[in-house]
Structure 1
Amino acid sequence: MDAEVIVIGGGPAGAAAAFHLAARGRAVLLLEREPAGRGKPCGGGMAASVQRWFPFDLSPAVEQVIRRVRFSWCLEDPVVAELPGDAPFWIVRRARLDAFLAEQAVAAGGRLLQPLAAERLERQQGLWRVGLSDGEMLTSRAVVIADGSGSRLAGAHGLGPARPRYAATVSVEVEGEVAEPDTARFEFGLVHHGFCWAFPRQGGWSIGVGTFIGQQEADSEAVLSALLPSLGLPGDAGVRHRGQLRVWDGHHPLHGSGEAGTGLLVAGDAASLCDPFLAEGLRPSLLSGCRAAEALDLWLAGDEGAPAAYSQRLRSEWGESMAWGRRIAQVFYRLPKVGYQLGIKRPTAPRRIAQILSGEMGYGDIAQRAIRRLLFQKS
């Protein structure tokens, strides 16, 4: 046996799981298919509250601290909300965050194989067998699938939704001066069934366009040619990277069942945890990676119910809020102008959204009233 646990995917969920397993004394092997330092399309927004899940300081991976959020409709009619707390929202570069977490996992005793992809996963004679892109076969007692939005392994083993729902995105990294480096921007109105975001980072911007209903891609060039000049940037600045976000779309098992699935968990984007309204993905990825490690440590110690408890815990800690977030998104993105006027522009709404982004509040705390207002206006 090569390891007690093999973690497939070295993103935030996988690296977090690998660290916590190694820190608990487990023999863990982390597989990452991309070479070290390769950039990954991601806005990089992350609630500072994730720090409580790690015993080491995350600040080396943080590029910018966000203290306020600016909302606008077609680049006008702005609303600004102050974020609560001393360091409520962070901007990170995914390549740096992933590498930093992987370094912590290795320092705790884990092993990292990079770049090396897991091509297949099967269970034989009480062990998991992971076939690698170089032809090698590894074995372990347990596996965490954390191979991202494009995961082929999760669905093949009955984990997460059988038919994942995706949001289409275009990401742009742009160098340039940032006038308000502590302000994140959310722009509604330019994108049909979606929104734009502009997050300041060191020396520039992380900018994105997302479409959340229908999976069709927005006319990103037209959107960016309007958005970028509003930030003092040329309309054609930056290189476009197209991608998909695997958004939350219902409660589904995140653990394998029966002998064929024993010791198997899914975490992060592969588990379809991304916020369906505001596209937050890093916080649920880190949360699920930490909880997966806790569950497998208990399971390896003899607690047979720990994997099922993992699914239930993610449901209560994240999924129940996202169920309300999905309802809000379905109404808001079909009636975005009404949603902006009755939702974002309400005196208390920006503060509530800021609290959701900072992790202080869930969608269930605001959803029923917000949906009633939107549906009443529609009727």
Structure 2
Amino acid sequence: MTTYSTIVVGAGPAGSTAAREIAARGHDVLLLDRARFPRDKPCGGGVTVRCAALLPFDISPVVEQVVSGAILSGPQGGSTIRDAGGPLTFMTQRRRLDAFLVERAQEAGVEFRDGQAVRTIVERPDGTFEVRLGNGDAHHSRVLIGADGANGVVGTALGFEHAAEQAVALEGNLSFPDGPPDWLRGRVAINLGWLPGGYGWLFPKGDHINVGVGGWKAVAGSQLRASLDAYTRTFGWDPATLTGVRGHHLPMLRPGARLTARGVALVGDAAGLVDPLSGEGIYGAIASGVAIAPAAADYLAGTTHDLRGYQFALDRELVPDLVASHALMEVFHAWPRPFTFLAMRSRRVWNGMTGIVRGERTYEGIVRRTGPLARTLPPLAWLARRVSARRYGAR
């Protein structure tokens, strides 16, 4: 049995970031993933400017398109082109991004093993962990981090409540060997409210376009493929030419959810840190990977008795924004037409949206600065949920 200070299960952006940050503090870290790398992952593949700013290195080697604008449309019809005057999001592919982040973790001293599924996890009376793999190997650690997604083995084995899976998405790729058409270069296309609780999208990449739709699981789940096909046809493309069609859940944080227990913590999708309004999850993944490192270092040094410092950091820096985003999501999708109109026509609303993507603003900050809205938003979100439930049924 090999002993490490920390074992991280799952080598997506959350896991590789946590592993790298902890190793950079002088600790030996084992990073595991059940898939062979590089591997595909269902995801739009957009790294926002605020997300990239969390990383201490440049991600340009894996960037395929730099997005600085959007083509917005909605249920009322019509569309508008909005420009941000500078980068908003860096488009990549998860197979490239995740492999790149793992390489940076290895440079920091992380030991990476891919193709290694975790079979069992046992917490010993002294608070350490035994992690046994499918090939029979066993490893031991004082800190264990679950970065293995919604319903991951770490959270399941150690009794954590699973993140809420309120939304689902389906996506595929359309080949454009010479690059995306001119009208989409440097832009994303977003159809707000294409499905209840979600939207349709076009994300340009180097030699293809990622086409997707998403919405509330209970309402949109059975409609996803038909909706994806219909959305693809609106641009004059044949949905039969879509490749790599795959679906995924968008795990969202449960209020008051416990994300740590002594020497174990959940990060990224395993913790439910997807932005409810946008559906974007890479920022929450990398932010939580950064946040866990100081708490893990303190615990390993014996200056704290658990990893609650990580929970406190999330509650201070990330959770308030997720709560505000969730409330805004409920309101937006209960009454999509007026809010879509504002998103398409109001410069102030567009600046707020781009400010969030760039890290210049937060949902919570925008709500707080509105004064009365800060007090009325919680009851308005409750009412919006009731309206949506009456319109679409339970979700």
User: Is the structural similarity TM-score above 0.5?
Assistant: yes
Does the 8 Å contact 2:166/2:251 carry over to 1? yes
**CA offset at residue 270 of structure 1?**
0.3
Does the 8 Å contact 1:210/1:218 carry over to 2? no
Distance 1:287 1:354, change over 3 A: same
State the alpha-carbon separation in 2 of the partners of residues 206 and 299 from structure 1: 42
1:335 aligns with 2:335: yes
2:19 is aligned to: 18
SS at 2:277 equivalent: coil
Equivalent AA in structure 2 for residue 71 of structure 1: L
1:144 is aligned to: 145
Does the 8 Å contact 2:151/2:163 carry over to 1? no
Distance 1:354 1:104, change over 3 A: same
**More displaced stretch, 263-272 vs 230-239:** 230-239
2:87 is aligned to: 87
**More displaced stretch, 69-78 vs 21-30:** 69-78
State the alpha-carbon separation in 1 of the partners of residues 158 and 81 from structure 2: 45
Distance 1:353 1:52, change over 3 A: closer
State the alpha-carbon separation in 1 of the partners of residues 94 and 165 from structure 2: 23
- Runs (4 or more) in structure 1 with deviation over 6 Å come to 376-379
Q: Which has the higher helix share?
A: 2
Tell me the TM-score normalised to structure 2 length: 0.86
**CA offset at residue 119 of structure 1?**
2.1
CA distances 1:162-185 after superposition (whole Å, capped 9, x unpaired): 562331110112212332211012
SS at 1:165 equivalent: strand
1:208 aligns with 2:209: no
**More displaced stretch, 139-148 vs 301-310:** 301-310
Equivalent AA in structure 1 for residue 109 of structure 2: G
1:254 aligns with 2:255: no
Distance 1:8 1:114, change over 3 A: same
1:283 aligns with 2:283: yes
**CA offset at residue 191 of structure 1?**
1.3
State the alpha-carbon separation in 1 of the partners of residues 366 and 344 from structure 2: 12
- The counterpart of 1:178, out of the listed 163, 168, 181, is 181
Distance 1:98 1:207, change over 3 A: same
2:246 is aligned to: 241
SS at 1:2 equivalent: strand
Does the 8 Å contact 1:73/1:340 carry over to 2? yes
Does the 8 Å contact 1:211/1:218 carry over to 2? no
Equivalent AA in structure 1 for residue 81 of structure 2: V
**More displaced stretch, 48-57 vs 281-290:** 48-57
**CA offset at residue 75 of structure 1?**
8.7
2:272 is aligned to: 272
How many residues are treated as equivalent by the alignment?
A: 372
**More displaced stretch, 172-181 vs 333-342:** 333-342
Does the 8 Å contact 2:263/2:306 carry over to 1? no
State the alpha-carbon separation in 1 of the partners of residues 362 and 283 from structure 2: 13
Does the 8 Å contact 1:178/1:205 carry over to 2? no
1:259 is aligned to: none
Distance 1:2 1:231, change over 3 A: farther
Query: Which runs of no fewer than 5 residues in structure 1 stay unpaired?
Result: 257-261
SS at 1:236 equivalent: helix
1:113 aligns with 2:113: yes
Q: Percent identity?
A: 27
Does the 8 Å contact 1:173/1:204 carry over to 2? yes
CA distances 1:271-302 after superposition (whole Å, capped 9, x unpaired): 00001111010011011111112221122112
Does the 8 Å contact 1:274/1:284 carry over to 2? yes
Tell me the TM-score normalised to structure 1 length: 0.89
State the alpha-carbon separation in 1 of the partners of residues 129 and 194 from structure 2: 48
Does the 8 Å contact 1:68/1:83 carry over to 2? yes
SS at 2:171 equivalent: strand
Equivalent AA in structure 1 for residue 56 of structure 2: P
**CA offset at residue 375 of structure 1?**
5.3
State the alpha-carbon separation in 2 of the partners of residues 2 and 229 from structure 1: 54
Matches within 5 A, 1:1-379: 1-74=2-75, 76-83=77-84, 86-126=86-126, 127-159=128-160, 161-162=161-162, 164-176=164-176, 177-179=180-182, 180-212=184-216, 214=218, 216-217=220-221, 219-239=223-243, 240-256=245-261, 262-304=262-304, 307-342=307-342, 344-367=344-367
Equivalent AA in structure 2 for residue 178 of structure 1: P
State the alpha-carbon separation in 2 of the partners of residues 189 and 245 from structure 1: 17
SS at 2:64 equivalent: strand
CA distances 1:90-136 after superposition (whole Å, capped 9, x unpaired): 11211111111111111221111111011222211522111211122
Query: Which runs of no fewer than 5 residues in structure 2 stay unpaired?
Result: 388-395
Does the 8 Å contact 2:38/2:95 carry over to 1? yes
SS at 1:7 equivalent: strand
